[in-house]
């Protein structure tokens, strides 16, 4: 039987060629809202135009493709400081390079991520937490992966220190429930980042002697591609804001095009990155987000996933 990952890839490719009124681009036109649901007086692009420092927190090298359009708008168009914090080296992933991945996949993927960060003019903080190996069906539950990470180090503390060191105005990460693709490590990255934002602002929390810093805005990135919504595989709503990825990164190059071109550095992941480029126009022209308030919600990375539950 075709596994779930291959089925979804095939369905996405087929769906990308179909235009259904009211579904494709359905995320467009959202009135920007704050975490409490009130109208946002300064949409995210205006916030970036004011020089906001931006941090992206994710699980894997190549995850930045999901939010790359917004990152390009910040760092390439507005020339704002950008930091990328990646929790694993992606050693559980594929190696699609014809020449192989010597000395190992982790080393090669880390080098690719360094090239990508330079392309985005970003600083890179790259940790080496355990990465669940393919196939998808073998992934442990989210809380089991977190337990492994905690045996290796302090992932929340590491992100707290990264936040205090860089002092971002805006933190962008995945949705904490589904994580864009259902990957439990995407969900973990979200929960760790959101928890770290709260702790980084608390002067009573010690992190390497670094001063407390309060992040002004935190957004969860939402994968709302219409076909995934029909299949029940999309990130849940609500969407509080949509970023228009057709805006320019540089003259003549849209933010979405910049993101897609940058995926070419991830040669080890060409199967997935080639798919991103193929469906770019239908799936990545809008960046759907939910602004959240990390100071009023608790997203415990260690929360147990019930049998059969997501993650």
Question: In the chain, where are the structural domains located?
Answer: 27-292
pTM: 0.90
For residue 81, the tally of other CB atoms under 10 A from its CB is 18
What Cα–Cα distance (Å) separates residue 222 from each residue in 91, 236, 286, 305?
25, 8, 10, 21
pLDDT tens, the chain, 311 aa long: 345 455 455 545 545 555 443 333 444 446 787 767 777 778 999 999 999 999 999 999 999 999 999 999 999 999 999 999 999 999 999 999 999 999 999 999 999 999 999 999 999 999 999 999 988 888 999 999 999 999 999 999 999 999 999 999 999 999 999 999 999 999 999 999 999 999 999 999 999 899 999 999 999 999 988 777 888 888 999 999 999 999 999 999 999 999 999 999 999 999 999 999 998 887 888 999 999 999 999 999 999 987 655 56
Burial of 18: CB neighbours in 10 Å, binned 0-12, 13-18, 19+: exposed
- The residue among 177, 172, 216, 181 whose CA lies nearest residue 47 is 216
Q: What b-and-e string marks burial along 222-250, b requiring 16 or more CB atoms within 10 Å of the CB?
A: bbbbbbbbeeebbbeeebbbbbbbeeebe
**One-letter-per-residue 3-state SS of 229-255:** HHCCCCCCCCCCEEEECCCEEECCEEH
Instruction: State the pLDDT at residue 305.
Output: 85
For residue 16, give the 3-state DSSP assignment.
Answer: helix
Cross-strand pairs, 218: 171, 292
Dihedral sign for Cα 295, 34, 309, 64, please: negative
Please give the Cα distance from 174 to 57 (Å, whole number): 8
Architecture of the structural domain at 27-292: 3-Layer(aba) Sandwich (3.40)
pLDDT at 9: 55
pLDDT of residue 38: 78
Q: Where are the alpha helices (DSSP H) in 76-183?
A: 105-119, 142-152, 155-166
């Amino acid at each position: 039987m075709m596994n779930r990952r291959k089925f979804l890839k095939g369905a996405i490719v087929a769906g990308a060629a179909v235009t259904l009124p009211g579904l494709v681009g359905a995320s467009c036109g959202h009135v920007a809202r704050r975490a409490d649901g009130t109208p946002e007086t300064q949409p995210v692009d205006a916030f970036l135009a004011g020089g906001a420092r931006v941090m992206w927190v994710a699980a894997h090298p190549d995850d930045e493709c999901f939010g790359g359009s917004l990152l390009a708008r910040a760092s390439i168009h507005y020339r704002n400081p950008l930091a990328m914090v990646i929790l694993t080296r992606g050693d559980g992933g594929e190696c699609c390079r014809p020449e192989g991945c010597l000395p190992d996949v982790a080393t090669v993927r880390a080098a690719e991520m360094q090239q990508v960060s330079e392309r985005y003019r970003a600083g890179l903080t790259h940790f080496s937490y355990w990465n669940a190996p393919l196939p998808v069906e073998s992934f442990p539950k989210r809380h089991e992966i977190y337990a492994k990470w905690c045996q290796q180090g302090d992932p929340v503390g590491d992100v707290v220190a990264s936040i205090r060191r860089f002092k971002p105005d805006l933190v962008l990460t995945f949705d904490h429930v589904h994580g864009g693709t259902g990957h439990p490590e995407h969900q973990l990255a979200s929960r760790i980042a959101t928890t770290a934002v709260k702790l980084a602002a608390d002067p009573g929390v010690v992190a390497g002697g670094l001063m407390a810093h309060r992040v002004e805005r935190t957004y969860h990135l939402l994968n709302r591609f219409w076909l995934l919504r029909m299949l029940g595989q999309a990130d849940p709503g609500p969407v509080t804001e949509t970023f228009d990825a057709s805006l320019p990164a540089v003259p003549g190059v849209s933010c979405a095009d910049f993101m897609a071109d940058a995926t070419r550095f991830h040669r080890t992941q060409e199967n997935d990155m080639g798919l991103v480029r193929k469906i770019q126009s239908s799936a990545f022209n809008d960046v759907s987000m939910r602004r959240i308030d990390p100071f009023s919600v608790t997203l415990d990375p260690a929360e147990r996933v019930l049998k059969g539950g997501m993650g």
